[in-house]
Chain A
Amino acid sequence: MRKFLSSAALVAMALPLLTGGANAAASDVCKGQDINILMETVPDTTALQGVKDEFEKQSGAKVNIEAVNYSLMHEKLVPSLTASTGTYNVLIVDSYWVGEFKTAGWIMPLDDLIARDKVDTGVYVPSLMELNGKVDGTTYMLPFWQYAMGLLYRKDIVDDPAFQAAYKEKFQRDWRLPESLEEYAEVAKWAGEYKKMYGVAMAGQRADPVVMEATNYLFSEGGDFYDRNSWKSTMDSPEAAKAVGVYADLMKNAAQPGALGANFDDVANTLKQGKAIFSISYLFLFPTLQDPKDSQVVDKMMFAPMPGKDSFLGAWGWAIPSNAPNKDCSWEFLKWVESKDVALKRAMAGGQPTQAWIYDDKDFIAKWPMMAQVGDALKHAKGLPIMSRSTQLVETFAEVLGAVLADGAKPEEALEESVPKFNRLVKGDPLLHKQ
C-alpha cells in the first residue's frame, strides 16, 4: 500500500510536467516565478544577460543570473543539488560534470519533454550533443555553448615579411603554422626570443586551468587518460610523457612570469596587452580580445586548430535539476533560450554557438571571422571521458602537473605514479561499461 501511495504521489508530481504543461504558454507556468541560474563569468553569460528581458516579458518570470568565477561553481552547486529542494531552477552543466551529475541523479531526463514539444535536437553540432546532451542514449541536456580550444596567435606578427624571413633562416622552410606539438614548442620559444616578447601565454593555475590547457597537449600527441574500451589508465604512455614534457618546457622557457598561478583571465590579459605571440587557449576569449576599450590587439589575433592530432573540447549544457521547484517553468526557459532566434542573438553578442547552422550564417561569420575555423577544430576534438568521477580526474591530472611543473618531478615518473590513482577513479563506475 505504501509503495502504491508513493508511486501515485510520484505520478501526481510528474503529471503536470508530462501532460498538463503540454500546451501551456510560458506565462501560464512562469508568472511570478523566479528562475535562478548559476553561471560562469564568460561572454556567453553576458550575451544571455543581454536578452533575458525578452523571456521575462513573455513569461512574467524573473531570471536571476548569479555569475561567478568557474572555481566556485561546482562547490556552490553540489550542496544545492543534494538538498531536497534546490536553489537553482535551471543548471548549466560543464561537460566533465555530466557523468557525476547523472550518476548522482541530480539532473532529470528531457526526452519526454523534447518529444512532447517537438524540440529539434538535430540543430546541434553532433559531437556537442554527444558530449553535452546525451548520456547512455538519454538526453539530459541541451548544449548551451562550447569551449573549443586551439591555437590563438598574433596574425600581424606572423604575417610580417621580416618575421617570416627570420623564420625561414632559422628553420630552413617557408612560414607555416605549427603542425605538431614539438614544432609549436620550437616556434613559440624562438618567436618569443626573436620578438622580445613572451612566446606563449599560459594558464598553469591548479586545477581546472592547467588541466584544460595541458589536456590539449595530451590529445595533440595522441595520448589519453584511459584506454576507452578497457578503462585502464594509459597515462604512463610515451605520448603522455612527451605531452607533459613539452608543456613543462614551454611553461619554463616561453611563458609569461607567474604563468603557474595564472588562469584564463590572466592569459587574456597578457594577450590583450600585446605581450605574447601564441597561446593554446579558448576561442571564447575573442570577444574580450576584440574589445577596443581594453585590448591592444583588436583585429590582430587569429585562431587555428590545435597542432598535432586532436584538441580538447568542452561544452556547457542546459539541464533541469531533479530537485528544481518548478520544472515546467524551467523547461519553458530552456525552450526559449535555445530557440533559433535567441541562439543567434546570443552568438552575435559574442557567444559560442552549439547549433550547427549558426556557423553558416553570413552575418555571424562576418562579425566573428575566426569562427569559420571552428568546424575544423571540432572535427579533431574530443572531450574528457564521461565518467562519474571526471571532476576528480581533473584534480588527479592537476596533481601530476603540479609535481612536474612546481616540484621538478620527471614527467615519466610522475605519470607512472599517477596510474593507480586514475585507475581508482573508474573502479565500480556504472557509466563506463556502456561507453
Chain B
Amino acid sequence: MTVTTDTVRTDHGVPGARNRAKRSGARHRLVTHYLFMAPTIIVLALVVAAPLFYSFYLSFHEFIITYGQGDFIGFDNYVGALADDFGEVSWVTMKLTFFAVALEFLVAFGLALLLNRPTLRFREGYLVILMIPILMTPVAVALMFRLMFNPNLGIINWVLSLLYIPGQGWFGDPAMALPTVIFVDVWHETSLMLLMLYAGLKSLPSEPIEAARIDGASRLQIIWYVIVPLMRPIILVTLLIRMISALKSYDLIYMLTQGGPGKATETISFYAYRLGFRFLDIGQAAAVSFVLLGVVIILTLLLLRVMREN
C-alpha cells in the first residue's frame, strides 16, 4: 500500500506515466477477478457447456446406443423428429401449458388477495398449509394422485359412487387423462405462483389503494383498476416463469401416464425422453431437446425484456 502511494506521488505531474499505472492496476485487478472466477467458470464449462455442446453435436449425427455413434447426417434428426409425432406432442404441451398456467394463476391470485386482507387472522398458518404441495416431490404427488384416481381402488370414484355418479377411468380414459393431469399439476404448482404473487402484493404501495377506497371504489374496482395494473410486471414475470417450467413438464407425466393413453398426455419433454431412453436414438432425442430449448430461450428472452422494462 505504501509503495503504491509512493509511486503515485513520484509520478505526480506526469500524466502519461499516471495513466500507464492506472491501466496496469486495472489490468491487474481484471486478472485477479478472472483468477477468482476461474474455478466457477471451469466447473460450469464442464458440467453445463460441455454436455450442451456435445448433445448439440450429437443432434447432427446418427447415434443409436445399441450400434454406437454413426455418421454426420446434417439436419436429418431434426427433420425426422419434427416429421414424426412432434406436431401432436407440441399440441398436447401447449394445451397442458395454457390450461395449467391459467388455472394456477386464477387460483393463486385469488388466494393471494385473500391472504393479503389486513383483517385476516392466522395468516401464517394458512400460508404454511398452502405451501405444502410445493414442498412435496413430484414423484410423491404423482403416486398419491395415482392411487386417489385409481378407477378400482381410488377414493375419487368411491366418493362419486356415493353420489350415484359412475366411476371414471381418469388417467386411463383418453378424454379425461389430460384434464386429470392438469388438475394434479394445478394442485402441485399453484403454491409457487401464490408465493410470488403474495410477495408482489405485499410490496405494493398502500397509498393508491387507500386513495381509491376513500374515493368510494368497491373491492372489485380496487382489484381491477388499482391492484392489477400495479401488479402487472409481477404477474407477467410469474406467468412467464411458470410457462417456461410447464413447457418442460416431464416428471408428473412420467409417473402418472407415461404419455398415454395413446399420446393423449405426451409432452415434448416426454417425447424426447422416449426417443432417447426407449428408442435409444440419442441423435433424434437431442434434436427434439434443442427444438424445445429454442422455444424456452425465446420465452426467457421475453421474460428478461419484461423484467428490464419494469
Assess A406 versus B174: contact at CB under 8 Å? Given A269-B152, A273-B152: yes
Beta-carbon contact of A261 and B67 below 8 Å: no
Beta-carbon contact of A258 and B278 below 8 Å: no
- B163 beta carbon closer than 8 Å to chain A: no
Report the minimum CB–CB distance from A311 to chain B (whole Å).
24
- Which residues from A are CB-within-8-Å of B138? none
Residue of A100, A204, A388, A392 touching B261 (CB-CB under 8 A): A204
Beta-carbon contact of A260 and B277 below 8 Å: no
- Which residues from B are CB-within-8-Å of A256? 151-152
Assess A406 versus B152: contact at CB under 8 Å? Given A71-B258, A207-B278, A260-B169: no
Report the stretch among A3-11, A27-35, A74-82, A323-331 that lies at the interface.
A74-82
Beta-carbon contact of A205 and B174 below 8 Å: no
- Which residues from B are CB-within-8-Å of A407? 174, 262-263
In the complex formed, the residue of B with least CB distance to A263 is B258
Report the minimum CB–CB distance from A281 to chain B (whole Å).
15
- Which residues from B are CB-within-8-Å of A388? 66-67
Beta-carbon contact of A402 and B262 below 8 Å: yes
In the complex formed, the residue of A with least CB distance to B149 is A258
How far is A43 from B226 in the complex, measured between Cα atoms in Å? 64
Residue of A71, A261, A395 touching B172 (CB-CB under 8 A): A261
Q: Is the interface of B mostly helix, strand, loop or mixed?
A: loop
- Which residues from A are CB-within-8-Å of B152? 256-258, 266, 269-270, 273, 275
Beta-carbon contact of A402 and B65 below 8 Å: no
- B150 beta carbon closer than 8 Å to chain A: yes
- A185 beta carbon closer than 8 Å to chain B: no
How far is A266 from B151 in the complex, measured between Cα atoms in Å? 9
How far is A204 from B279 in the complex, measured between Cα atoms in Å? 20
Beta-carbon contact of A405 and B261 below 8 Å: yes
- B200 beta carbon closer than 8 Å to chain A: no
- Which residues from A are CB-within-8-Å of B279? 391-392, 395
How far is A392 from B274 in the complex, measured between Cα atoms in Å? 10
Assess A261 versus B177: contact at CB under 8 Å? Given A204-B172, A266-B152: yes
Assess A260 versus B173: contact at CB under 8 Å? Given A104-B65, A104-B66, A266-B152: yes
- B167 beta carbon closer than 8 Å to chain A: yes
Residue of B66, B172, B174 touching A103 (CB-CB under 8 A): B66
From 207 to 235 in chain B, residues with beta carbon under 8 angstroms from any chain A beta carbon are none
- Which residues from A are CB-within-8-Å of B243? none
- Which residues from B are CB-within-8-Å of A346? none
- B171 beta carbon closer than 8 Å to chain A: yes
Beta-carbon contact of B169 and A266 below 8 Å: no
Interface centre among B153, B170, B260, B278 (most CB of A within 10 A): B260
Beta-carbon contact of B151 and A257 below 8 Å: yes
Beta-carbon contact of A392 and B151 below 8 Å: no
A-B contacts besides A204-B261, A205-B260, 18 pairs, CB < 8 Å: A104-B65, A104-B66, A104-B67, A204-B172, A206-B261, A206-B262, A256-B152, A258-B150, A258-B172, A260-B169, A260-B174, A261-B169, A261-B170, A261-B260, A266-B152, A275-B152, A391-B279, A405-B261
* Chain B interface residues (CB < 8 Å from chain A): 64-67, 150-153, 157, 167-174, 177, 257-264, 274, 277-280
* Chain A interface residues (CB < 8 Å from chain B): 71, 74-75, 78, 82, 100, 103-104, 204-207, 256-262, 266, 269-270, 273, 275, 388-389, 391-392, 395, 399, 402-403, 405-407, 428
21 A-B pairs with CB atoms under 8 Å apart are: A78-B277, A204-B261, A205-B261, A206-B260, A206-B261, A256-B152, A257-B151, A258-B152, A260-B173, A260-B260, A261-B170, A261-B171, A261-B173, A266-B150, A269-B153, A273-B152, A389-B280, A395-B274, A402-B262, A407-B174, A407-B263
